[in-house]
Chains A and B, each alone.
Chain A
Amino acid sequence: MSGHESSYTPTNGFTKWLDKRLPIVRFANDTVVTFPTPKNLNYWYTFGGILAVCLAVQILTGVILAMHYEPNVNGAFASVERIMRDVPFGWLLRNIHANGASMFFFAVYIHMFRGLYYGSYKAPREVLWILGCVIFLLMIATAFLGYMLPWGQMSYHGANVITSLFGAIPLVGESLQTWILGGPSIGNQTLQRFFSLHYLLPFMIAAVVILHIWALHVPGNNNPTGVEVQDVEKDTVPFHPYYTLKDSFGIVLFLIVFAYFVFYAPNALGHADQSIEANPLVTPAHIVPEWYMLPFYAILRAITFDLGPIPAKLLGVIFMFAAIAILFVLPWLDTSKVKSMRYRPVARQFFFGFVAVCLLLGWCGASTPSNPVFPALQGEDALVVSYTQDGVEATSTYKGGGEAYVDAKRFMDGLPEDASPSLSAVPAPAFTFSQLSLILTFCYFGYFFILFFIGLTEKPKELPESIHKSVLKRHKATSATTAPAE
């Protein structure tokens, strides 16, 4: 590929013969062996390799699970439990697949934040970034479809909530929803089509991953300095063995975390209600998605007001999809010529704030919207006596501790018999998760727009001349600081 002459020379008769007909060995050699890679990539860059492993593991275990799974509303739940009980090593494969989804998202979020921090979305890597966003969208779709398959309570009611979002789209919404569900509600037909698509989408992800790697290899890797490669000899090392080994090291560290969940906490990331078979008549007390969807779920729920002709439900859907859609246009929102946040003192602070906003949105997504954010600061509930006096409904409020109850009780006893008083507790006004979500939603979108203005005004730090020089400088700095200790 460009900037990189093929260094492959076939060694024997067969490879020479093959190279003239299908240069697949040459292609593999140029892609994963000799590909010149900046030599200053840190561990945050190993997440690309980690994600490739995640995808391979999910496809492998998924194909195996499909051999035992039964996509039928009567048998789905039991067949998943059968995998856990009767299939040889089924418990292992299913725990890997179920926790693998979480690990996949964990890795992809770090991979995305790394791209945001080092400006990997900027020219000439816009297409690379957009392909990554397409992969992320496909991952969300795959995870959502797959979450339906165990046919637990959260599967059913979660899918119910999400598919009803499509119903919020004007004009076509209801038809679209019926079309997705294949009926008036989620049923056997829905489960079957979700299973079919859940099997298909990972291969589409794999296809886009190939494009993603292709798009990576045309401009080459970005790097923590954001300075492009100038001298291949000085600035880069061949991908193998330098980065194959570094990536492998990162992958194994990641696998330790993965294995911890698989072997010691396989249900920690799931929800107990998933172990109750789907029952359309009983909705769980709190519908929450898997943790990796929580920030988007929080944005969806944050919008509780109508905006002009747009009802709140549709507005929530618009904001939730916009939260992903805005990533697609990010290369053109960020106006700074400097890629890496290392050299952008102002934008860098906003980046850390953005990470915090995303995590806090996740917290909001997991919490009940009407609950107070700071229970410790929550004042005591007020007591309200509702009664009727002369045919008119009236209320009387009492605030305070135990004496308020005594007062309220005395007041109730003093009322005439036909007043039919009732006593209830009304929470004191507080800062709720619903309000916090709304603020955070605006912060989330605000970050992308603020990047536009920071890029125009910010005075970046001095950039290193080249990757090579920055490496040398860093080594001098560390040897200078460690010298006195010796």
Chain B
Amino acid sequence: MKAFRILAAGLAGLSFAAMAHAEGGAAHPHEPEGGWPFEGAFGQFDLPSVQRGYQVYREVCSSCHSMKLLSYRNLGEQGGPFFDPEYPNPNNNPYVKALAADVEILSPTPNEFGDYDFRPATPADQFKSPFANENAARAANNGAAPPDLSVIVKARHGGASYIYSLLTGYPHEDAISTREVTPAVVTTPASDNGTPDDPTDDIAEVTTPAVIQTVIDVSKVHIAGHDAAEGEHGEAGLLIQPAGQYYNPFMAGDTTPQYEGDPRHAPPGGFLSMGPQLLPDRVTYADGTEATPEQMAHDVAQFLAWASEPKQTNRKSLGLPVMIYLGILTILLWFSYKRVWRKIEH
């Protein structure tokens, strides 16, 4: 039986390890320095950071990304960033009321004439969505609808670390340059329809004027948390950014078609429609924290982690007494069980 147990445990561990694979093609997300305060069995959110994260969301992200599952009242609920023990009901919390009233929303209920008015939001209202619907979001964003951020940390492998890595992972501007190419010289998949004998294709190539391409020198791209692999990607090669797209090593995807170089060593990651957003001092923090890109990414990732599971604090704080209780019950049952069986040969 012992062999069976060891074998089973080993193989079970193996199959669980196999399940925890990273999303194909992308660099593995890394934590900020010092890790996340909410990790581990006793980890809790760093509320000042979550508060700053709300500011980053409000001032930067919310212009494109909705958070439909959140209401302003959530900010003032127990465990939320603006919870005030004096106001157990967040609807009465004046600070939350002010945060809500700061945003003008289209009332979800019609007025007495049947029209929908704009009014300041109340704590009971949902977070304002930047676009009326998904089609509007897509039309305004170059065909790619920005995802809703309500549960984004649960919805991505790597969670908050993924958000942090993505936001801070864009290549440094030193690595980015532009070049002018005439399509006749470089045939990118985008300008070649794949049939060399197609006359329309050839004509298009000849008559298309020179285009400005944004190219990334892969040898200058530093992927945080991937120092060991530096040499692997250190080979010279150019990555051509498609128009309106941005390269990010943490985005799931495949860079091979856009890579000029050894296709076996195409850099990790992919392209996304969102460019780098968190430029230094994009927001001004009220508490005097310096708004570096890393700081803002850290804060907003923590805010989004809170938003994805606002009850995480309750979960962990209930977990400990439950575990202690089960431990005590186990010990009591053991003695009870041994006592009952003490006279039985088994």
Contacts and interface: CB of A to CB of B under 8 A. Distances in A.
State yes or no: do A and B touch (Cβ within 8 Å). Answer: yes
Contact of B14 (A241, A245, A249, A359): A359
A418 B15 contact: no
Interface in A59-108: 78, 81-82, 84-85, 91-92, 95
Contacts of B113: none
Interface in A338-365: 352, 355-356, 359-360, 362-363
B339 to A, nearest CB: 9
A40 B346 contact: yes
Interface residues of A, number: 64
B74 A256 contact: no
A256 B16 CA distance: 19
B322 A263 contact: yes
Contacts of A402: 235, 262
Given A84-B309, A294-B15, A263 B318 contact: yes
Contacts of B187: 420
A383 B252 contact: no
Contacts of A355: 4, 7-8, 11
B262 A405 contact: yes
Contacts of A273: 155
Contacts of B157: 272
Given A39-B346, A272-B154, A256 B323 contact: yes
A92 B315 contact: yes
Given A245-B337, A249-B334, A356 B11 contact: yes
Contacts of B12: 359
B311 A241 contact: no
Contacts of A391: 197
Interface in A305-327: none
Nearest to A247: B337
A286 B22 CA distance: 11
Interface in A434-486: 468, 471-472, 475
B319 A85 contact: no
B279 interface: no
Nearest to B157: A272
Contacts of B345: 39, 468, 471-472, 475
Contact of B333 (A82, A252, A352, A475): A252
B15 A359 contact: yes
A423 B263 contact: yes
Contacts of B150: 81
- Of B3, B147, B341, most buried by chain A (CB within 10 Å of CB) is B341
A255 interface: yes
A248 interface: yes
Interface stretch (B103-111, B281-289, B324-332): B324-332
Contacts of B341: 242, 245-246
Nearest to B322: A259
A166 interface: no
Contacts of B340: 241-242, 245
Contacts of A40: 346
A359 B10 CA distance: 10
A252 B314 CA distance: 23
Contacts of B24: 285-286, 368
A276 B153 CA distance: 10
A368 B148 CA distance: 28
Nearest to A91: B311
Contacts of A381: 264
Contact of B252 (A245, A246, A285, A418): A285
Nearest to A471: B345
A402 B157 CA distance: 32
B58 interface: no
A264 interface: yes
A275 interface: yes
A253 interface: yes
A418 B8 contact: no
Contact of B19 (A260, A291, A359): A291
B266 to A, nearest CB: 8
Contact of A85 (B311, B322, B327): B311
B69 A425 contact: no
A91 B314 contact: yes
Contacts of B314: 91
B155 A266 contact: no
Given A272-B155, A424-B263, A291 B15 contact: yes
A383 B243 CA distance: 28
Contacts of A191: none
A61 B341 CA distance: 34
A367 interface: yes
A85 B187 CA distance: 52
B330 A363 contact: no
Contacts of A78: 68-69
A237 B337 contact: no
A267 interface: yes
A391 B197 CA distance: 9
Contacts of B316: 263-264
Given A245-B336, A276-B155, A425-B264, A85 B69 contact: yes
Given A359-B12, A425-B264, A285 B7 contact: no
A299 interface: no
A388 interface: yes
Given A84-B311, A423-B263, A259 B19 contact: no
Interface string B163-196: 0000000000000000000000001000010001
Given A91-B315, A383-B264, A259 B326 contact: yes
Nearest to A472: B345
Contact of A263 (B155, B315, B336, B344): B315
A471 B344 CA distance: 10
Given A81-B151, A363-B14, A248 B333 contact: yes
A196 B273 CA distance: 41
A363 B18 contact: yes
A92 B333 contact: no
Nearest to A260: B323
25 contacts: A81-B150, A242-B344, A245-B340, A245-B341, A248-B337, A255-B326, A256-B330, A259-B323, A260-B323, A263-B316, A264-B316, A272-B155, A285-B24, A291-B19, A294-B15, A352-B3, A359-B15, A363-B11, A363-B18, A383-B262, A391-B197, A418-B196, A425-B263, A425-B264, A475-B345
List 5 tightest A-B contacts by C-beta distance, closest first.
Answer: A263-B319, A275-B155, A359-B11, A275-B154, A405-B262
Given A266-B315, A405-B262, 4 more contacts: A249-B330, A255-B326, A366-B19, A366-B21
